[in-house]
Structure 1
């Protein structure tokens, strides 16, 4: 435990995996709403990874500037709409893939916002649906940049 890298020092993909590990613990304890929040967070971190990859490929912006852009975009929908889709507009295939992922992101975000902002509770079915959407979104998006990426599921 003492050798664990502090969360703030982890890469975006390490943070995605950390969130993913938490999801399964919460799910096994029947904390459905908390699992939804973690799934949405992992999804947003995957978007951060993709946005950073696009900025790195196209610019020499400093990390601090990119971090400010990520905060400005405010949430998964804003990051896709205001950063990732415009950054990929000149690459039709990538752009269309990300555009298609936006629908899945909307479903994840709607459930997350209902939990976080309206105090709603999720059923096991709702949580499972969000987790499945999140896993597909994360894999489909991250594999554009890291083709061998796969979320690891902890052994019980």
Structure 2
């Protein structure tokens, strides 16, 4: 169960990276090295939401409407991941399934902003 939680959280962070790259490509002429440095600096799912996606979406009302739900899902996923990865906590099957479902919801909601037909396979 522990590995599944870490993998789900990693997938959510990869989705955030994709969204950030999309925004930097659309809004700036920054090169990949600079964007990579920002992704590294933001450090983690919550950091990427708070320090990169939120400001990048600051003037895009259609995208902003998703922030509250994305932050709630990210907090849940990231909290469980950090407990597992940094504190050695274990989780039961129900907790793992809930975290995986939250990661799935986060990924789908975020990526559908850019690809409306996006859907994860089960």
Q: CA deviation at 1:100?
A: 2.3
* Cα separation, 2, equivalents of 1:108 and 1:81: 15
Partner of 2:82: 113
The alignment's TM-score, normalised by the length of structure 1, stands at 0.76
Larger RCO (alpha carbons 8 Å, 6+ apart): 2
SS state at 1:149 partner? coil
Q: What is aligned with 1:152?
A: 121
Q: What residue in structure 2 maps to residue 17 of structure 1?
A: none
1:63: which partner in 2? 32
- Structure 1: any 5+ residue segments left out of the alignment? 1-31
Equivalent residues in 2 for 1:3-82, closer than 5 Å: 32-82=1-51
Name the larger-Rg structure: 1
Identify unmatched segments of 5+ residues in structure 2. Answer: none
Alpha carbon RMSD of aligned pairs, Å?
A: 0.8
Aligned length: 122
Which runs of structure 1 show a deviation greater than 3 angstroms over 4 or more consecutive aligned residues? none
Say if 1:35 and 1:127, in contact at 8 Å, map to a contact too. Answer: yes
